[in-house]
């Protein structure tokens, strides 16, 4: 096979790998036609938006489909703005669009990278808000038989960085659009610790700009330092382990709900003195330990090996085994992360 198509500019880690072919998909019919054509030949297809949450380990033995299916359609009821958004729209541009049109609610989710189609898969969230607060449905298609199915919000089973779309049941489906409802009566979400100094004169625009500035400071520009944002999810642990850790580390940042502790993965990594740690071309970011960067022409395996090292060091120190947030892509598609991240490593 000849891999003539570079993916270096199509993944935010900047991993230098190739694919058999890259095709831009601009509508539903083109998606189904191309998907069916190549899968019949046993050639895998992989949908990419901005490539902001993937780690390629090696050349992809298939077709990369770049999602360019655009469109934002707005209707309204007495209480809500209702948006039907196609999956190829840029998420941050969607947030900017709603702010400009005075349809508020998404401002806490500003500057999250990627396209709309990726948002429901991991139930994107930031600063006390997640997609599940607004998502009413997700439309998916089976590209082989062109069957479209609408998954209502209750059926999405949204959880922290998880949904039904991470399960095998929808492995061969593609998200083509989603529906959002934004309340006309705006209520700011200011429970996150970063908002403690906000005054009463708060507006959606101020929250949007404030969060955008925070994210720019915390997360390095992938065009300069290749990265995928947070590599690991924040872990949930039992109250027994949580209170035990609090006795040892009284300043440990956490939240507790229903006797379950949610602990900062970045803090755990930082306690292991890993900030700035370099292994081959990969490095733990000096300012934010939760971010792994491509410091010097790292390969996908370089990034992965550093992540496994972090996983083992944190696990052995705290008894907490982190779960990767980034999707790991091998020759023929996504790999179950437990292949690499298990206590045996």
Active site residues: 161, 230, 325
123 token code pair: 């139930």
CB 69 within 8 A of CB 87: yes
CB 95 within 8 A of CB 208: yes
| Cβ-based neighbours of 102, under 8 Å, separated by 6 or more | none
DSSP state for residue 120 in the 8-state scheme: T
C-alpha span between 156 and 226 (Å, rounded): 31
310 token code pair: 């972090």
The single residue listed with the structure tokens 């941050």 is: 92
CB 130 within 8 A of CB 108: no
Full 3-state SS string of 287-323: CCCCEEEECCCCCHHHHHHHHHHHHHHHHHHHCCCCC
| Cβ-based neighbours of 250, under 8 Å, separated by 6 or more | none
C-alpha span between 290 and 183 (Å, rounded): 33
203 token code pair: 């507006």
C-alpha span between 164 and 171 (Å, rounded): 10
The single residue listed with the structure tokens 């922290």 is: 160
| Cβ-based neighbours of 296, under 8 Å, separated by 6 or more | 281
CB 123 within 8 A of CB 131: yes
CB 17 within 8 A of CB 56: yes
């Amino acid at each position: 096979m000849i891999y003539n198509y570079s993916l270096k500019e199509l993944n935010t880690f900047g991993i230098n790998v190739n694919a058999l072919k890259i095709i831009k998909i601009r509508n539903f019919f083109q998606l189904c036609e191309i998907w069916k054509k190549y899968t019949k030949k046993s050639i895998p297809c992989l949908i990419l938006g901005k490539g902001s949450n993937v780690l390629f380990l090696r050349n992809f033995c298939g077709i990369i489909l770049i999602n360019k299916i655009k469109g934002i359609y707005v209707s309204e009821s007495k209480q809500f703005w209702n948006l039907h958004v196609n999956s190829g729209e840029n998420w941050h541009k969607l947030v900017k669009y709603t702010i400009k049109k005075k349809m508020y609610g998404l401002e806490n989710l500003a500057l999250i990278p990627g396209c709309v189609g990726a948002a429901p898969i991991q139930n994107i969230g930031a600063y006390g808000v997640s997609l599940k607060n607004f998502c009413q449905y997700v439309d998916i298609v089976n590209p082989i038989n062109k069957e479209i199915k609408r998954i209502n919000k209750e059926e999405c089973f949204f959880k922290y960085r998880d949904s039904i779309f991470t399960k095998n049941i929808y492995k061969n489906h593609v998200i083509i659009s989603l529906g959002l409802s934004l309340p006309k009566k705006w209520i700011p979400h200011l429970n996150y610790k970063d908002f403690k100094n906000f005054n009463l004169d708060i507006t959606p625009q101020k929250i949007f700009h404030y969060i955008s500035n925070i994210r720019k400071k915390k997360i390095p520009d992938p065009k300069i330092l290749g990265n995928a944002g947070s590599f690991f999810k924040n872990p949930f642990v039992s109250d027994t382990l949580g209170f035990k850790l609090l006795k040892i580390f009284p300043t440990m940042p956490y939240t507790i709900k229903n006797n379950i502790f949610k602990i900062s993965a970045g803090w755990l990594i930082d306690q292991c003195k890993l900030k700035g740690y370099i292994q081959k071309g990969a490095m733990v970011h000096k300012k934010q330990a939760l971010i792994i960067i491509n410091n010097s022409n790292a390969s996908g395996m370089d990034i992965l090996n550093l992540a496994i090292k972090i996983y083992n060091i944190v696990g052995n120190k705290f008894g907490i085994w982190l779960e990767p947030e980034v999707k790991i892509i091998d020759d023929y598609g996504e790999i179950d992360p437990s292949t690499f991240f298990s206590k045996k490593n």
